[in-house]
Amino acid sequence: METALSEQQVTDLVAAANEARLHAYAPYSRFSVGAAVLGTNGEIYAGCNVENGSFGLTLCAERAAVAHAITHGCRDLRALAVVAETNNGPVTPCGACRQVLAEFNPMLTVICATETGRMSVLRLDELLPHHFDLGRR
């Protein structure tokens, strides 16, 4: 699928997600994930997964990246990259992350990549075709 992103933007976004992955706190699953969102302002905001012994309190990398963007005043998201070390190919955001991302842009470009460079590009509405919406837009 073609994105409206330049090759350099994709490269920078995946690199930021991969760098964030290196800082993940994943002592339980040992599955480190990094994510980065690109705001319509051109800035990149990264996050990593942060696990907790009370597993339900674990924070996914995608939601950490969104929180980073929001903290810096960016609410208009253009794209997301998510990177994980896996032999099974690129991973996609979990359902909770998909819903959080849809709050900000249901048409978001989602780049799923491995640390070795395997990549797939989707749109969020393909991953979550009927997201919950309070109709406040």
- Domains, the chain, ranges and CATH? 7-127 (3.40.140.10)
CA atoms within 13 A on the CB side of 105: 17
- For residues 11 and 98, give the distance between their C-alpha atoms in angstroms, rounded to a whole number: 22
Closest CA to 18 of 112, 96, 127, 109: 112
**Rounded mean pLDDT for each run of 10 residues along the chain, 137 residues in total:** 79 98 97 98 98 96 98 98 93 97 97 94 96 80
Q: Which residues are catalytic?
A: 62
Q: Which residue has the tokens 């359902």?
A: 95
| 125, 107 Cβ separation under 8 angstroms | yes
| pLDDT for 137 | 56
DSSP state for residue 42 in the 8-state scheme? S
Beta bridge partners of 48: 34
